[in-house]
Structure 1
Amino acid sequence: MSNRPEFQGELFEKGLQIRREVLGDAYVNRSVAAADDMTAPLQKLITEWCWGEVWGRPQLDRRTRSFLNLAMLAALNRPNEMRIHLRGALNNGVTREEIREVVLQVAIYCGAPAALDAQKAVVEVFKEIDAEE
């Protein structure tokens, strides 16, 4: 892990645990290990507030949060984050068929370009996962 002093504290640890459970140890280990003086503050912020505070709230389950993330990332045309959260959504119990439906919903409400870029990310991630099996 990291010996960075800013990567300590109860909220950071809570966020790190949730982040690992959703995105997997390998991804989180790479992100934290790669942190330097420029990127560590953002890693800390995301781990504590995104993962520890928001993802840690009990009012929505992780599956629902994953659905929301996929739709928002597709709508915002953020394919890099979409790829990461596709794996997380599958880890949280969202099925491939449900992911397809999210992309269709995005096509209607956000437009074809957003849905096409999201679909490209979906296909790439599914191929990667299938090759790993």
Structure 2
Amino acid sequence: MDYGDLYDKGLEIRREVLGKEYVDQSIANADDFTRDLQDFVTSTCWGAIWGRETLDRRTRSIINLSMITALNRPHELKLHVRGALNNGLTREEIREILLHTAIYCGVPAAIDAFRNAREVLDQVDKEEGQDS
């Protein structure tokens, strides 16, 4: 299916939020079975939804961290913790979001979310240490 401009817009936003290397690798690794999903996600999720102007990217990251914690999706949470940092959230704000999820999503979900967020934050610290 040809998504046209939505794909291009989505690809740009997706790269800015999640990182060019990760996105380009996901697309390059797509095969005949998964390519349609990559096109769909890039066009609809990133182009049609993240591309809307009513909510800024910071707010969308807050919503994502909350929902992904509730859904208990650790891989996606790790990805979106990094995206939240790219979108301007601080570690303190991420911590508060995850604490808030403990009340509304349950303590086990929040514990897993903290564990996964910590892995990403530790990795970011290592990367920043290598660059300095």
TM-score, normalization by structure 1: 0.93
CA separation of 1:83 and 1:7: change in aligned 2, threshold 3 A: farther
1:58 maps to a residue whose letter is: E
1:55 maps to a residue whose letter is: W
Counterpart of 2:13 in structure 1 is 18
Counterpart of 2:79 in structure 1 is 84
Q: Deviations over 1:3-22 (max 9, x none)?
A: xxx67721110100000111
Q: Following the alignment from structure 2 to structure 1, what is the Cα–Cα distance between the partners of residues 108 and 15?
A: 31
Counterpart of 2:22 in structure 1 is 27
Q: Is the counterpart of residue 64 in structure 1 residue 59 in structure 2?
A: yes
Counterpart of 1:3 in structure 2 is none
Counterpart of 1:46 in structure 2 is 41
Counterpart of 2:114 in structure 1 is 119
2:43 maps to a residue whose letter is: E
Q: Following the alignment from structure 2 to structure 1, what is the Cα–Cα distance between the partners of residues 79 and 118?
A: 13
4+ residue segments displaced more than 6 Å:
none
Identity, % of aligned positions: 59
- Of Structure 1 and Structure 2, the greater helix share is in 2
TM-score, normalization by structure 2: 0.94
Q: Following the alignment from structure 2 to structure 1, what is the Cα–Cα distance between the partners of residues 3 and 48?
A: 15
Q: Deviations over 1:27-55 (max 9, x none)?
A: 01110000100110100110000000000
Q: Following the alignment from structure 1 to structure 2, what is the Cα–Cα distance between the partners of residues 72 and 130?
A: 25
Q: Secondary structure at the match of 2:48?
A: helix
Please list every run of 5 or more consecutive structure 1 residues that lacks an aligned counterpart in the other structure. Answer: 1-5
Q: Secondary structure at the match of 1:105?
A: helix
Please list every run of 5 or more consecutive structure 2 residues that lacks an aligned counterpart in the other structure. Answer: none
Aligned residues: 128
2:123 maps to a residue whose letter is: E
Q: Following the alignment from structure 2 to structure 1, what is the Cα–Cα distance between the partners of residues 31 and 3?
A: 15
Q: Secondary structure at the match of 1:57?
A: coil
